[in-house]
Amino acid sequence: MPLIPEEAIPYFENMIYLPMVLTILEKDRTIFEKAPFKLKRPYIVLVEEAGKQVQKELKQTHMYMKRHSMKVLRGEGDDMFTEYVFFHGGYEEHRRYLNVRLRNRVEELLSIYLAVIEKLH
């Protein structure tokens, strides 16, 4: 039986994935600014708005984790796996994530955030 409640896992995973999404959006923004597009502004605005949405969710996740005494740390990693250590209620759980899974999930989240922003405009 896992010692960390199942409902806490999405918050831990947000703390893994959302910073990665932000990093990618920041790098993409820089690329759009330097790229030889005729009309850069729509791309930059799209990426900036998606970044704001990610930051908002990350802030909510931080607050939830602080209220519930939760913490996540990155552990060991290699070419195939990255380990994360979840702390909750005095318990510690080590989870290993396939790097391919991490990349795929970040790509999926990136698509979701960009689609949501596109629908808002």
Sign of CA dihedral 108, 110, 114, 119: positive
pLDDT of residue 37: 84
Has residue 1 got a pLDDT over 60? no
Percent helix, percent strand, percent coil in the chain, to nearest 5: 65, 20, 15
The pLDDT tens digits for 12-62 are: 999 999 999 999 999 999 999 999 988 999 999 999 999 999 999 999 999
The pLDDT tens digits for 63-113 are: 999 999 999 999 999 999 999 999 998 899 999 999 999 999 999 999 999
The pLDDT tens digits for 112-121 are: 999 987 776 6
pLDDT of residue 75: 94
- Angle among Cα 67, 14, 118 to the nearest 5 degrees reads 120
Reduce the DSSP state of residue 48 to 3 states and report it: helix
